[in-house]
Amino acid sequence: MNEKARAGGDRANSFRTSGKRPKAVTFLYVLLVFLGVGAIAGGVGLITDPSGGQLGMPVDEMLKRSPFDDFLIPGILLLVVFGLLPLLVVYGLVRRPQWSWADAINPFKELHATWTLALYVGFGQIIWIMVETYIMDAVAVIHVLYMTIGLLIQIAALLPSCQRYFRVPPDVDISDSAGGITGPRSASR
């Protein structure tokens, strides 16, 4: 790999190479970490006590419109999808590894795949809260908070400074099946 590819390119990644991280990127990191830590706590609470009693969430009232008999499956989903995944995304945003599985689900090839994963986490959070409020047939302050976090993840990721920061240099090919950077893109792409 040439020095330019290793450094992340010149023009498209000037924020990264200059050492300046846009505030929008820092804000995105903070939102994802907050979501991840909160979901890990909630997921562990629901897994350790699937009745919901430990968290003051009675199963018979809260899950009456759901396909679940207790909070075990929702707790596992919460822990993995909104606890561990956002933290993995933050790792990916900071370190920028080339994950072939993430590249495969990234329709925005000009942006790093973990940027797209951040968008997916934001969309997923919004959908999760919408489904949760439907199932519970109620809206609480925590729903508004976490819906707002999902929206803010979307907004932060879509800001132009954030998109510029995660732009893939035009001379780097990320489509290698092993998931690694293969070198300059050919003119036919």
pLDDT, tens digit (0-9, with 9 covering 90-100), for 28-86: 999 999 999 999 999 999 999 999 988 888 888 888 899 999 999 999 999 999 999 99
Question: Residues 30, 90: contact at Cβ < 8 Å?
Answer: no
Q: Among candidates 75, 69, 158, 177, which has minimal Cα distance to 115?
A: 158
What pLDDT does 16 receive?
Answer: 54
Lowest-confidence pick of 29-38, 69-78, 142-151, 166-175: 166-175
What pLDDT does 14 receive?
Answer: 45
What pLDDT does 61 receive?
Answer: 84
**CB-neighbour burial class of residue 107 (10 A; exposed 0-12, middle 13-18, buried 19+):** exposed
Tokens of 125: 């959070």
What pLDDT does 19 receive?
Answer: 63
What pLDDT does 95 receive?
Answer: 96
pLDDT, tens digit (0-9, with 9 covering 90-100), for 85-135: 999 999 999 999 999 999 999 999 999 999 999 999 999 999 999 999 999
Question: Quick one: pLDDT band at residue 185, thresholds 50, 70, 90?
Answer: very low
Tell whether the model's pLDDT for residue 26 goes beyond 90: yes
Q: Among candidates 149, 155, 140, 152, which has minimal Cα distance to 35?
A: 149
DSSP summary character for residue 167: B
Tell whether the model's pLDDT for residue 173 goes beyond 80: no
**Average pLDDT for 17-38:** 91
